Structure 1
């Protein structure tokens, strides 16, 4: 449980800020597609070397970057949009990954790869997640202003700054890296939950980027702690419990946050009465 908590806290510090920028760039579903796209690489690493953290990580990273680049090339060279090309490649990747795992392992192995084994994090996995978090925070600190500008007006950033491609492709690299890190704890199907859900919940608590980043990290930390406690006391699967706990915070934020449905209606009624 302590290792699982440390891993989730590291993911909260690194993955959720990336989720905030995905939300601001309207790329939330892209993150979901990329989470599935890493599966064939991770499955190939498992097929060749078994449950090796290094092999599965390198395989997932290569597969995720390959799908991202292929989707971009198809979108730029054909009539197909980027969302459709990404959806096509991630579906192919998901099917190929499941097939590879089924050829080598059992249903238990497939379950672990898809849904994660957060209670089985070893030293190598924790060090990997911590390294990805460190790289993410340093990169976001260096590229913060270009990333914010690209969220507001990508065309303007391309016009006035040579850092536009660096910010764009560097951010895609961070997305893939954090999904690979989340894959170690939560599997390919749930890793995107700790990236997107805290960012979505934070949107109902703040309007500023700094406020969104802080709120998203707090939501991820609280949801991880609550999910682990629920899984321990109620004997539930830890990965789904963590994502459901974060989802519960999202629903609460949707209803009662300063920018939530109930709060905005009350403020609107008071405005009309005034």
Structure 2
């Protein structure tokens, strides 16, 4: 019985194995980036950037249809453009960066939906907005794997300034000039992983496997390294469970994965040993001298 539910779908169907490989790769690249988004209080920035890539991907779709390279390049260009413009507006005016990002992402979302609607059908629009992890081909999996590898290498290179900026950004500015380059490199990683997630989960859900596992990890660990491992594990388990749920029900795979991840987040919120609600309601006894 357990074999039929948990293993047989992946043994018998190649599209399930491809989907699982895609989810595992997205977890390895996106979850660590999500932890830094959370620690830097940029989770909503990640959501805004997820919408910002839509017009570029839509223009790629308009020119070449559902072509991987065209949509990936378009998404990367759009994401970087919105990030740069939002930063310039925040520095040249009195508008804060979150407000400028909100304005740009709303414009980007409306523009992207309009472009896809002009060329494609409702099915194409749903594919762009929600993705289709069950339709990943070799080319897409290779692109996702390359992006995840680049993410892990760059994170290793900028690890120290990123951690220092999370803890004490003023100290980092006083002792090193690595803060600004590390921040730009980190924003590039956010865009790259959102484009990764776009192919599997669509623009509306791409940020889910980045932010939710990071939130889960926050309730189970205190140091950053452990948070990374917990976040990756949570993303992998949730992705696997979401694919199983989708296979045996009528729930689409993308929403199923995010729903399972959200359920794990709620369970962690209640039972997590680090600031979980039950932990705060019934704290353990402190050692007495």
In the alignment, the residues of structure 1 paired with residue 217 and residue 177 of structure 2 have an alpha-carbon distance, to the nearest angstrom, of 31
Q: Please name the residue that 2:117 is paired with.
A: 102
How far the C-alpha of 1:161 sits from its partner, in A, is: 1.2
How far the C-alpha of 1:118 sits from its partner, in A, is: 0.4
Aligned counterpart for 1:81 among listed residues 90, 96, 113: 96
Q: 5 Å matches for 1:103-122?
A: 103-122=118-137
In the alignment, the residues of structure 1 paired with residue 45 and residue 225 of structure 2 have an alpha-carbon distance, to the nearest angstrom, of 23
Q: Please name the residue that 2:277 is paired with.
A: 261
Cα deviation per residue 1:104-124 (whole Å; 9 max; x = unaligned)?
000100000000010000111
Q: Does 1:205 align with 2:220?
A: yes
Q: Which runs of 4+ in 1 moved over 4 A?
A: none
In the alignment, the residues of structure 1 paired with residue 241 and residue 53 of structure 2 have an alpha-carbon distance, to the nearest angstrom, of 28
Q: Please name the residue that 2:254 is paired with.
A: 239
Q: Please name the residue that 1:124 is paired with.
A: 139
SS of match in other structure, 1:267 = coil
Q: 5 Å matches for 1:152-191?
A: 152-191=167-206
What is the root-mean-square deviation in Å for CA atoms of aligned residues?
A: 1.5
Give the count of matched residue pairs.
273
Q: Please name the residue that 1:18 is paired with.
A: 33
Q: Please name the residue that 2:76 is paired with.
A: 61
Q: Does 1:91 align with 2:117?
A: no
* TM-score normalised according to structure 2 size: 0.92
How far the C-alpha of 1:32 sits from its partner, in A, is: 0.2
How far the C-alpha of 1:186 sits from its partner, in A, is: 0.2
Cα deviation per residue 1:88-119 (whole Å; 9 max; x = unaligned)?
00000000000000000001000000000100
Q: Please name the residue that 2:58 is paired with.
A: 43
SS of match in other structure, 2:282 = helix
How far the C-alpha of 1:159 sits from its partner, in A, is: 2.1
Aligned counterpart for 1:145 among listed residues 160, 164, 171: 160
Could you tell me which runs of 5 or more consecutive residues in structure 1 were left unpaired when the two chains were aligned: none
In the alignment, the residues of structure 2 paired with residue 173 and residue 256 of structure 1 have an alpha-carbon distance, to the nearest angstrom, of 34
Q: Please name the residue that 1:251 is paired with.
A: 266
How far the C-alpha of 1:170 sits from its partner, in A, is: 0.2
In the alignment, the residues of structure 2 paired with residue 252 and residue 6 of structure 1 have an alpha-carbon distance, to the nearest angstrom, of 26
SS of match in other structure, 1:79 = coil
* TM-score normalised according to structure 1 size: 0.97
SS of match in other structure, 1:66 = helix
Q: Please name the residue that 1:34 is paired with.
A: 49
Cα deviation per residue 1:39-94 (whole Å; 9 max; x = unaligned)?
00000000001000000000000000000000000000001111100000000000
In the alignment, the residues of structure 1 paired with residue 66 and residue 129 of structure 2 have an alpha-carbon distance, to the nearest angstrom, of 13
